[in-house]
Amino acid sequence: MKHHSRRVNSRVFPVVLSCTLFLLAGHLMGQQSSSESKGPQKFSASSIQIEAPDAGNVPLPPEFRIAVYENLILQIEKTGKFQHVYRSGDKDAVNAPDLVTLRTTARAFTEGSQKKREVTTVMGATSLTVNVRITDRAGQSIVDRDIKGKVVLMGENLGATYDFSKKVAKIIRDTF
Amino acid sequence: MMRMQNPRIDVSVATNYCRAGKPHIWVHGLFLAVLSASLMLSPVLAHGQAADAPPVAASDVLQAQVQLVVGGQSIRNNSKGTLSVVGNSLQLEADGKKVSVEASSILDISTDKDSRQDITGTAHLAAQAIPYGGSRVLSLFSHEIDILTVEFRDGNDAYHGAVFAMAKGKAAQFRKQLVALGAKTTAPLAGQDHK
């Protein structure tokens, strides 16, 4: 009898162990996926208004200020996260129910040179750092970050504004 | 009386000369007469055609080939087209579309300078294949351009901006003319085009 029970135990033990390990692994994976699905908090808004960029104390040339604004509008429209993307001053934005407002303030700007970039490959980078702040109707801040746009090797100086707006569009996708 | 008779004699002489067995000279003369008449009449015709065109003085129309860098609304960025001041408006025509902005709705207009590579597009990409950094040498070839930045509000009070790249020296002309038509500007006109 004793010998028989030992044989049964030796067969059952690996099965029980493997089942336990399997369940444990499943539990751990489940925990991991649930923590992943939580991610950053998502907000919902049907419309956004983009205010005209504020140059602040930075000597930002007008063409860069306008390129930041127009590229932002284009890229945010492309995200498809909002039914309406209103421009600064648009009268229709007053009636939008859950409007969020995006404000930009220049923090730093370095104008490089396309020729220097392409000839030396290490000098002449153009970069701009802009603070991006998205608030709801109550003025509660949803996003408040400094974003850097740059053109390091190929392309025109204004390409830095395109790089910046693409990064802001990614933040919009992650937030809304 | 003597003077009156002289033309008669001349005609007869001419007729006689034609009949004197040299018809090719007569044809040659006729051809020259027709040619000179057509040359004399052509400026008159051209003037007549110009008179039919709308009465716009050449000095009133400022026009330049530009590249729209950004902000053309229905016109795609980086499109090439014609920018002109027509009447009281700044008008861009590109990609078969027209966009115009009233000078009075312009909040600010400024000019700047930049440079563009002479070798661009596919040729620039192909140049990257040149060994020993040869493409870098080609990057040295560039030309200066003017940048014109226009900020304005539309009928719904929405704020817009547009940036144009154009041949050197043109942007200041546009700015001056638009300011004369009622566009606002923050930078002074005299000693403009900083940098």
Do the domain assignments include residue B150?
yes
In angstroms, the CA A130 to CA A153 distance is 21
In angstroms, the CA B94 to CA B162 distance is 14
With CA atoms as reference, the chain B residue closest to A93 would be B158
Q: Are residues B34 and B102 in the same domain?
A: no
Q: Are residues B93 and B150 in the same domain?
A: yes
Domain count, chain B: 2
CATH number at B83 reads 2.30.29.30
B52 pLDDT more than 50? no
Distance from CA of B155 to the nearest CA of A (A): 9
Q: Are residues B44 and B66 in the same domain?
A: no
What confidence tens digit (pLDDT) does each residue in B62-75 have? 899 999 999 988 89
Across the interface, do A52 and B149 touch by the CB < 8 Å criterion? Answer: no
Q: Mean pLDDT of all residues in chain B?
A: 73
Beta sheet of A126-135, edge-to-edge order? A84-87, A47-50, A99-110, A126-135, A141-151
The band of B188, judged by pLDDT with boundaries at 50, 70 and 90, is confident
Helix or strand or coil: residue B82? strand
B84 in Cβ contact with B60 (< 8 Å): no
Do the domain assignments include residue B194?
no
How much is the pLDDT for B10? 42
How much is the pLDDT for A134? 97
A98 pLDDT more than 80? yes
With CA atoms as reference, the chain A residue closest to B141 would be A115
Do the domain assignments include residue B116?
yes
Identity of the residue in A89, A115, A119 whose CB atom sits nearest the CB atom of B153: A89
Q: Are residues B158 and B137 in the same domain?
A: yes
Q: Are residues B30 and B110 in the same domain?
A: no
* Residue from B163, B186, B192 to probe the interface with A (highest A Cβ count within 10 Å): B163
The band of B7, judged by pLDDT with boundaries at 50, 70 and 90, is very low
Do the domain assignments include residue B192?
no
A95 touches chain B (CB under 8 A): no
Structural domain that includes position B32: 2-52
The backbone region for B192, taken as left when phi is positive above 0, alpha when psi lies in -120 to 50, beta otherwise, is: beta
Amino acid at A17: L
Q: What value of ipTM does the predicted structure carry?
A: 0.76
Do the domain assignments include residue B69?
yes
